[in-house]
Amino acid sequence: MSTKRRARLPRERRMREIMQVAEQVFRDKGYSEALTAEIAARAGVVEGTIYRYFPGKRELLIRVVEQWYERILADYDQQLRVLQGTRARLRFLIWRHLTVIHNDPGMCRLIFNQLRVWPEYRRTTVFDLTREYTRRTLEIVQQAVERGEFRADLPLRIVRDMIYGGVEHHTWVYLRGEGDFSPDAAADAMTELVYRGLAAPAADQLLPTSRAAEAFPAEAALQRLEAVAQRLEQSAGARTVHRAE
Amino acid sequence: MSTKRRARLPRERRMREIMQVAEQVFRDKGYSEALTAEIAARAGVVEGTIYRYFPGKRELLIRVVEQWYERILADYDQQLRVLQGTRARLRFLIWRHLTVIHNDPGMCRLIFNQLRVWPEYRRTTVFDLTREYTRRTLEIVQQAVERGEFRADLPLRIVRDMIYGGVEHHTWVYLRGEGDFSPDAAADAMTELVYRGLAAPAADQLLPTSRAAEAFPAEAALQRLEAVAQRLEQSAGARTVHRAE
DNA sequence: AAAATATGATGAGCGGCACTCACTTATGAG
DNA sequence: CTCATAAGTGAGTGCCGCTCATCATATTTT
């Protein structure tokens, strides 16, 4: 019968085509549900052909993710360079990370749940690029510390961990496909928390709290009531909202 | 030949033995490197026997982790109840989580890398217990907000996410077996950052005398509070089941 | 005590899937 | 046209989680 042999393509082109298909299949099905047989079929080749170009399924995912990640980070530095001020830059980093996750949850799930737990992860360029990525955060904080804008008594790594860990924890539910989140709102809140937490106290703000409350009892009371009111409103409105993790 | 049949054990006992062995094997080898054949061999039964008691390998891990987690959280509430003050309680929660990871990285790796990414996760008691666990954090922050100790303008969930996400991010390297960390030092730094970030500014810091009316219009706030109070009175009495979202 | 019932335990075997390899065929340089 | 080279093939292998017909032992019944 007509042994429908496929066209012979140059190495580069065939690799590109396989990776393109693989990216889609991985994204849609997740790593373990994605079958090499399906990738091969959709790419119009036979299973064995994939192994001519990639040592295995894992390596294929790694290559796919690496390519995606380089695309993501392409114009990153450019955007960051334009921004002025610690707060704006910090917010951009956080917002950016949140937005990447929001825009391509499938790919991020692969990175968080699969790639990052493999032993190969460390020799991946994804690992290197991520380090580079988070190094910017450390730099910004460092510079703010040197300028006296931020306190110097907290380890920088902790700050970075709370930012990136916080972002990921916040997006879990969304990544499981069970809810949504707002990159803008989350970035605002996280930036605020970090900024306030690190801000060096101004000289005139060093008054003991007790004296301050004495000086303005009415305002302090109002402040308290306002807080209570907000809380009650939130809990009343939250009853219908989807449950958090 | 001597067909060396194993002793017949009561259902409960056999299950316990299998789970005990499985816990060790999973911890040592990780999920995918752990073979049901090895678990069976070490438990002194044949592979098929495992499937008399557990629907599959995944479910076996789930049961093992559930049992472990219940053990971990046993005296948790007790310890927390003793502590006084937002800061001390917050620090305890953070420190506790860090310490659990430090003491049993193998088990935590299984939870973080395997269990939590499976679809079954949500119907696991690990899921429920974790929610309970993190709910305490929200409660503590909430109470501090009500007391006026913390600001009310940041979403509580974000705070929780930054704490627990930060903890996990901070312990990654250790969980990959490539370094160490200090639960005490990390807990101090994280508590400090969160506490400072959330601390309500003293009255005179928030409301400089000259611009008090501008910054915090007392009249508007009073009207607003009155409205909220009326609304609450109307829908009053009923279930105040405020779900910490 | 013997028979009947219930249930713990077996182990050969199956199905799915990543991966291999001896072999085939298109391509392009000489 | 010829032949070396590299692209592509597909039947086959090994691993591993999981099943099921069958057996054996403890417990209950008569």
Q: What confidence tens digit (pLDDT) does each residue in B129-148 have?
A: 999 989 999 999 999 999 99
Long-range own/partner contacts, residues A205-209 (CB < 8 A, 24 or more apart): A205/B201, A205/B202, A205/B205, A207/B202, A207/B204, A207/B205, A208/B202, A209/B202
Cβ atoms of A108 and A101 within 8 Å: the answer is yes
Best of B141, B160, B169 to mutate (most A CBs within 10 Å, chain A): B169
Asked if the C-beta of B108 comes within 8 angstroms of chain A's C-beta atoms, the answer is: no
Residues of A in contact with B97 (CB under 8 A): none
**Which helix (H) or strand (E) segment is A241 a member of?**
none
CA pair distance A207, B202, nearest whole angstrom: 8
A224 Cβ within 7 A of any nucleic strand D atom: no
Round to whole Å and give the CA distance between A31 and A28: 9
pLDDT tens by residue, A193-216: 999 999 987 644 444 444 444 444
pLDDT at B221: 55
pLDDT of residue A7: 81
Closest CA to B126 of B32, B62, B80: B62
Which candidate from B113, B158, B186 shows the least CB-CB separation from A193? B158
Q: Residues of chain B with pLDDT > 90: what percent?
A: 74
Q: Chain A closest CA to B72's CA: distance in Å?
A: 20
Residue A233 has its nearest CB partner, among B147, B159, B228, at B228
pTM of the model: 0.83
Say what the pLDDT of residue B158 is: 98
pLDDT value, residue B134: 94
Can you state the angle between helices A125-146 and A57-72, rounded to 10 degrees? Answer: 40
Report yes or no: B159 at the A interface, CB cutoff 8 Å. yes
Residue B110: list chain A partners with CB under 8 A: none
Q: Does A152 touch chain B (CB under 8 A)?
A: no
pLDDT band of residue B26 (cuts 50, 70, 90) is very high
The nt closest to A3 (CA vs C1′) is D9
More confident residue, B3 or A65: A65
B202 touches chain A (CB under 8 A): yes
Q: How many whole angstroms separate alpha carbon A57 and alpha carbon A120?
A: 13
Q: Cα(A118)–Cα(A54) distance, rounded to whole angstroms?
A: 17
pLDDT average, residue stretch B234-243? 41
A109: closest CA of chain B, how far (Å): 9
Decide which of B245 and A153 is more confident.
A153
Q: Please, how many CA atoms are within 13 Å of residue A79, restricted to the half-sphere of its CB?
A: 13
CA distance B109 to A56: 24
Q: Does the CB of B190 have a partner CB in chain A at under 8 Å?
A: yes
Q: Length of chain B, please? A: 245
End-to-end CA distance of chain B: 64
Does A220 contact B161 at a Cβ distance shorter than 8 Å? no
Task: At B150, give phi and psi (nearest 5°).
Answer: -115, 155
pLDDT value, residue A152: 96
pLDDT reading at B244 higher than 50 = no
Q: What percent of chain B has pLDDT over 70?
A: 80
B224 with A219: Cβ contact below 8 A: no
Q: What is the pLDDT of residues B64-96, one digit of tens each?
A: 999 999 999 988 888 888 999 999 999 999 999
pLDDT score, position B61 = 98
pLDDT of B232 reads 53
The residue in chain A having the minimum alpha-carbon distance to the alpha carbon of residue B216 is A219
Q: How far is B7 from chain A (nearest CA, A)?
A: 38
Give the distance, in angstroms, between residue B178 CA and nucleotide D15 C1': 30
CA distance B211 to B218: 12
Q: Closest Cα to residue A100, out of A124, A73, A127?
A: A73
Q: What is the mean pLDDT of chain B?
A: 86
- CB atoms A244 and B241 under 8 Å: no
- Protein-to-nucleotide distance from the CA of B190 to the C1' of C4, whole angstroms: 68
- In chain A, which residues have pLDDT < 50? 1-3, 203-217, 220, 231, 234-235, 237-245
Task: Answer whether any strand D atom is within 7 A of the Cβ of B25.
Answer: no
Residues of B with Cβ-Cβ distance to A240 under 8 angstroms: none
Mean pLDDT for B194-208 is 73
pLDDT at B206 over 50: no
Which nucleotides of strand D lie within 7 A of protein CB? 6-12, 16-21, 24-26
Which chain B residues in 3-22 lie under 8 Å from chain A, judged by CB atoms? none
Mean pLDDT of B52-60: 98
Looking across all nucleic acid strands, the nucleotide with the smallest C1' to CA distance from residue B51 is D18
Q: How far is the CA of B37 from the C1' of D13 (A)?
A: 20
